[in-house]
A and B are shown apart, each in its own frame.
Chain A
Amino acid sequence: MTGAPLLSGLIFLPLAAAMIVLWLDRQRVGAMFTVALAGMGAALVVACVLFARFDSATAALQFVERTPWTGGIDYAIGVDGISLPLVMLTAVILPLALLSAWGSVHERVKEFIVSLLALETALLGTFLASDLILFFVFWEAVLIPMYFIIGLWGGLRRAYAAIKFILYTMTGSALMLVAIIVLSVQGTAQLGTRTFDVVALRTVHVAMPLQGYLAAAFALAFAIKVPVWPLHTWLPDAHVEAPTAGSVVLAAVLLKMGAYGFLRFLLPLFPQASLQFAPVMSVLAIIGILYGGIVSWAQRDVKRLVAMSSVSHLGLVTLGAFAFTVEAVHGSLLQMVNHGLSTGGLFLLVGVLYDRTHSRQLDDYGGVAALMPRFAPLALFGRPRATLSRPSAASFCRRSTCCGCIRE
């Protein structure tokens, strides 16, 4: 479509910055942060260019790049209306997370910065890949830096949290890989060529019982990532133990990968099976919404509180995704972005509080209302639009989560 490979540039700019950071002397903390910020900033600029030149009139993938890789696997990337908001979100949140680390991370600064940069590359790749294997590679690649961020710079129980995080996610994605391969085999039989391309595979019809199994494998991977109740228990632990920057990225972007997966892969690839799953998923989502709200109310740890409220809010996204209407999908996307910004902001704030007070216990705070009230409403704002996706459950969520949010 255009001359410059915009998307590849977007994906690999942070990684390039990571290379430079690796080469720098580890004493030069300022220089490392500057280079990393420059890399992320450049990615943000590219993302903005992308946003400006994005044609919202078409539903097709845009800025497509395709290079054959091996065995029917292509390096194929493209952007459409579903991925664009999430790409923007990633490009905005990551620099903020990096800034939050400046001054609060003191050990192994170089490794931390490199991890964050690699994380950004992997995240952007996940949202932009249109080849299933490529997607899977990026999807898994996200885990590695995140594992280190939680496991190396986390709190006291960081090892437990990191292992839990990675085992949970790997369990889901292992099955997804099997499903990807089976799907491609089916596709090869029907299309005549072997391909892992999402758009091409959409035309493949998989017979029903098999389609159900494949969809279940995909759904499991995404549901763990979202997380859908009751697969959510890795989230509070990961959030609590992760450093501020990790929590921010985790809440703001990582959780969206699952919901993105629902919208991007599960629904278009397995329409019939998705329809069958919809009631179950909706019920789970509603349970998650209420449950997250209630549990967050009883938390004494701020980070755990916000984590549980994320479970609640992401339940809303899931609900929207499985409502099968245009409005609901719009609502889901908006809710994702809103949640990314507001919860990211909340975690930044908790980070500030923690830096000052060295406590995450609600009881130890008091009189910090000066800071918090401005952000608690922030978490509630912007949601009226998103809640339109599904009336009743939405406002229940608002009610119960607000109880939690306001309690600080």
Chain B
Amino acid sequence: MTVPIGAYLALGALLFVLGIAGVLLRRSALIVFMSIELMLNAVNLTFVAFARQLGRLEGQVAVFFVLVVAAVEVVVGLAIIIAIFRTRATVDLDDVDLLRG
């Protein structure tokens, strides 16, 4: 038996909303970061589901792009978080408001 496409999409949407909630509600930079990864992978899931459904490759290629970008982003993002932690001894986002006008 095959899982219907709707279930994949629902799961993707659920994961995405979870990611958004994490980004908006959590204060720890690491958690926020993980939530972003969650959002990316939610989209990945959707891509793959549609690729399977339509029988085309573009969606899967897009997933690879997203994975690569996510990997790069992890490298840069973690580096930034570590740098902030070194200078401020905190990863609480609300304490990092250098850009306040």
**Contact between chain A and chain B defined by CB under 8 Å:** no
B interface list, Cβ under 8 A from A: none
